[in-house]
Amino acid sequence: MKKHNFNPGPSILPQETIDGTIEAVKNFAGTGLSLLEVSHRSKEFEAVMNETVALFKELLGIPEGYAVLFVGGGASSQFFHVPYNLLEKKAAYLVTGTWAKKAYKEAKLFGTVEAVASSEDKNFTYIPKDYVIPADADYFHITTNNTIYGTELLKDIDSPVPLVADMSSDIFSRPVDVSKYGLIYGGAQKNFAPAGVTFVIVREDLLGKVSRPIPTMVDYRTHIKDNSLFNTPPVLPIYSGMLTLRWLKNLGGVPGMERINKAKADLLYKAIDDSKLFVGTVAKEDRSRMNVTFVMAPGFEGLEEEFMALTKTKGMVGLKGHRSVGGFRASLYNALPLESVQVLVDAMKEFEASH
């Protein structure tokens, strides 16, 4: 039976990425060695690193003056890397979900941190508006997509101070004006590669301005100087990421991907809005294209397990909502085909017709 992978992360990858990675694990670039055992300083892997950086810059339109880095530790490690490198006097954070809250908490270890607004009062079901970004902040941190609760910032905001964004779960899903950001980071396991590598896009002129000593591995300048090869990087995820970016480029790049993502999200949200059995959980104007959260309508809560059982018979996996929200979460990351969303929508209509 064909599987329809709605997992929130680690999540679905393009089949081309999986197949190409398997081949490289067997024989990398004709070396007769596995990707798992090749030297990260070999000319063959250096070519992989260079192509992956070049594809990042091309697909996102990254201007001059920015570096693209690949490091370990996951996006959660960037919660302290960012303030270590950028926070001198004060930072500002927009708290829109669990991960934003964790980033805010971590930054407070390094100095004064202001939460300019939070949507925790309504269980993170909306994105705050009309907040004021303090002009004296060293940077303003946002989390563009809220994987657990299902909200997303779909437009680049204007900030009077350097803008820092965690784009773990929506990178490459829509065009981004990188020039509006001082730093963008994210984990790989949604739209880029298997877990294990973290990407960082940083404007180089922001670095070297804090007075604190920075440990070598935490200092972004270390990784810029050595092209992310100061120590052994996560070789396999970087290679897989390169294959994913090739796949994305062949689909029409980020603008082409956005059209596909919009079609997927529109299809599912229409089914939810037209239904009497299912209801969305977040403010409509803040709905995420990447993570669609919904629950049974009031009075029908007892049908949740029955619907989950139906989805499993049709090959769907990963639809259970996060424990803090309940219900269902359909993650529509780049590699998920429109066909899978249609299977889910058809199942919703079938279930409603029988109840």
> Does any domain span residue 27?
yes
- The pLDDT value recorded for residue 324 is 85
As a whole-number percent, the residues of the chain with pLDDT over 70 amount to: 100
Q: Looking at the structure, do residues 135 and 283 belong to the same domain, yes or no? A: no
Total domains in the fold of the chain: 2
Q: Looking at the structure, do residues 301 and 163 belong to the same domain, yes or no? A: no
Q: Looking at the structure, do residues 123 and 211 belong to the same domain, yes or no? A: yes
- The pLDDT value recorded for residue 114 is 98
Give tens-digit pLDDT for 288-346: 999 999 999 999 999 999 999 999 999 999 999 998 889 999 999 999 999 999 999 99
> Does any domain span residue 3?
no
Choose one of 224, 250, 276: the last residue of a domain: 250
Q: Looking at the structure, do residues 235 and 292 belong to the same domain, yes or no? A: no
Are β-strands 66-71 and 198-203 bridged in parallel, bridged antiparallel, or unpaired?
Answer: antiparallel
Give tens-digit pLDDT for 77-93: 999 999 999 999 999 99
State the CB neighbour count (10 A cutoff) for residue 124: 25
> Does any domain span residue 104?
yes
CA distance 197 to 237: 6
Backbone φ, ψ for residue 18 (5° rounding):
-65, -50
Calculate mean pLDDT across residues 243-257.
98
> Does any domain span residue 6?
no
pLDDT band at 74 (very low <50, low <70, confident <90, very high): very high
Q: Looking at the structure, do residues 92 and 216 belong to the same domain, yes or no? A: yes
Calculate mean pLDDT across residues 265-293.
98
Q: Looking at the structure, do residues 125 and 212 belong to the same domain, yes or no? A: yes
What does the mean pLDDT of the chain come to? 97
Q: What angle do CA 255, 261, 264 make, to 5 degrees?
A: 150
- The pLDDT value recorded for residue 12 is 98
Catalytic residues: 99, 166, 190
> Does any domain span residue 9?
no
Q: Looking at the structure, do residues 263 and 236 belong to the same domain, yes or no? A: no
**Measured CA distances, 259 to 155, 181, 234, 353 (Å):** 15, 23, 31, 31
- Tokens linked to 311: 């989805």
Closest to 170 in 3D by CA, of 278, 251, 265, 234 = 265
> Does any domain span residue 134?
yes
Backbone φ, ψ for residue 329 (5° rounding):
-140, 120
pLDDT of residue 232 exceeding 90, the answer is: yes
Question: Which residue range forms the structural domain that includes residue 279?
Answer: 253-353
Q: Looking at the structure, do residues 230 and 286 belong to the same domain, yes or no? A: no
pLDDT band at 197 (very low <50, low <70, confident <90, very high): very high
- The pLDDT value recorded for residue 285 is 98
